[in-house]
Amino acid sequence: MLSNKKIRNISSNIAFSIILAVILFCTIFPFLWMLIASFKNMVDLLNIEKLLVFSPTVQNYIDVFSKYAFLKPMWNSLYVGVVSTGLALIFGLPTAYSIAREKQNMFASVILIVRIIPAISFLVPWYIIFMKLNITGTYTALILSHLLVALPLIIWIMIPYFESLPKDLEHAAWVDGCSRVGTFCRIMLPLSAPGILTCSLLAFIFSWNNFIFGLVLCTNDTKTLPMAVFNFISYTDVNWAGLMAAAVVITAPILIISLFLQKYIIKGLTAGAVKG
């Protein structure tokens, strides 16, 4: 006969498996339904009897790139995301390193306050400034607005990462004649690669998915992907099938990159959790 301890362990494992299955279903089902719906026409999409059995079509994806001209918004989102993330790394990594090594707690608190304040709070001042500078509707306006959110995010992810790296490595480099800047570039940055990948991906995801900045600061020429989704919504109806295909196009690149880099993302997010 099984002991009470074994019965409890088996019961706990079964309960854990059931809870995990429910969480996975709730997480995966919306993406799976979105993917399936993107291969349906409007008639099949609105017919509950054809939830799983239907005649697949790729016309929705053809319409996304031909009728709705998604290539330009994709390029705009990619350009703004890469440039804003790159600038945030250039300014954010040295700042995080300085805060971590010099214990600049007051400076860190100011950055934290900026991080806590909702990004939309800066939208009106940004718009007024950009209007005075006559750069509304340009890539510059979008990049600067996205940089406002990406920069504090990168700094606060990288501070604990730099704090977790032993100072002995820097001291050894200084003894060998390496400068402070050389130590940072040649030793600290390579060792911080998982953290850099993590914060870069999170900053890029924010830029890729951001809607509110684009709504106010974009024009037709600089329209990003979240704004392009508006084309599927009219006063009379919503092209749900095309909208699902567009959602797959927007989601797929980030999802694929995240799956390939998940090992580094987990390592980067947990790097500063335990010191010593």
- Reported as a single tens digit per residue, the pLDDT across 7-18 is 777 788 888 889
Please report the pLDDT score of residue 3 as a whole number. Answer: 67
**Phi, psi for residue 233 in degrees, rounded to 5:** -115, 125
- Mean pLDDT, rounded, for 179-188: 85
Report d(CA 158, CA 160) in Å as an integer.
6
Task: Return the percentage of the chain with pLDDT > 90, whole number.
Answer: 14
pLDDT at 276: 42
Residues 217-258 pLDDT 10s? 888 888 888 888 877 877 777 888 888 888 898 888 888 888
Q: Is the pLDDT of residue 273 over 60?
A: no
Helix axis angle for 139-164 and 105-116, nearest 10°, is 130
Q: Average pLDDT of 250-272? A: 74
- End-to-end Cα spacing for the chain: 46
- pTM of the predicted model as reported, rounded to 2 decimal places: 0.82
Is 83's pLDDT higher than 90?
yes
Say whether pLDDT at 113 is over 70: yes
Quote the pLDDT of residue 275: 46
Tens of pLDDT, residue by residue over 115-152, are 788 878 888 888 898 888 888 888 999 999 999 889 98
- Quickly list DSSP for 128-141: HHHHHHT-TTSHHH
pLDDT, position 2: 54
